[in-house]
Structure 1
């Protein structure tokens, strides 16, 4: 009897892990505008925007189109995949997965003109759980730091 319960518990755990890893991502639900999103009640996100964010946007000395291309390059180099939007639209949402368990995190980015340059507004959040242990903030900080470096194709 104990063996059956143990096997059932293992099967249930594996089924849960498979669901987390393989659950479909609905672009209509996850492709959000960081300027308009309501702050979640959970601490598993990081928001970069002018008002009500966790950090202020940084201005980059490039056109909005160039910044969008660089963001896409940096995100993909970091292992993220594009879920919705496009570089052309200056609004993209990426899925990043944790290395071991494959938990999905979503990062929505909007690029806006800012004087002679462009700025990145972003909303990074976890799909599952209440805490992300700072992973989304760290990802955005890593992307911002990479944007300050020369392009990979130069």
Structure 2
């Protein structure tokens, strides 16, 4: 029995180490979110949303960047305000699982796509994070 507990502990430590040290394939994650109309799309392990903007693109993206980087365990991994598209990585507190959120402005529409990297179900964390960032933008975006 003790051997089984030791083996399970070793396997858990190996998985956690692999997840924490995993590198992002930015060609895969830094892609323009594909939504053409305002609205929300909730998928298994992901959340897409689009809102019309009520301010200049650079102002909206700068505010979004500030709010995103204020989120615990979140870093900018690709793009910037000047590029019109940014991808953020947010890691879970305990296991360090990475989620990726890409935000872009195109044709007066702020489009965001939050999705998990490992697993299939995110238990609503991507939706909560993305809608929290949207709420923080306040009057810079138009409500649905």
Q: Measure, in 2, the Cα distance between the counterparts of 1:124 and 1:16.
A: 23
Superposed CA offset, 1:94-126 (max 9, x none): 001112221100001111242xxxx31011100
1:13/1:72 Cα in 2 relative to 1: closer, same or farther (>3 Å)? same
Give the structure 2 partner of residue 97 of structure 1. 91
Structure 2 gap segments, 5+ residues each: 36-42
CA displacement at 1:149 relative to structure 2: 6.7
Q: Measure, in 1, the Cα distance between the counterparts of 2:127 and 2:101.
A: 10
Supply the RMSD in Å over aligned alpha carbons. 1.8
Number of residue pairs aligned between Structure 1 and Structure 2: 132
Q: Secondary structure at the match of 1:58?
A: strand
Partners of 1:106 and 1:127 within 8 A in 2: yes
Q: Could you tell me the TM-score, scaled by structure 1's length?
A: 0.79
CA displacement at 1:73 relative to structure 2: 0.4
Give the structure 2 partner of residue 107 of structure 1. 101
CA displacement at 1:130 relative to structure 2: 1.1
Structure 1 gap segments, 5+ residues each: 37-41, 49-56
User: Which contiguous aligned blocks of 4+ residues in structure 1 show a shift greater than 6 angstroms?
Assistant: none
* Structure number with larger C-alpha Rg: 1
Q: Could you tell me the TM-score, scaled by structure 2's length?
A: 0.84
CA displacement at 1:75 relative to structure 2: 0.5
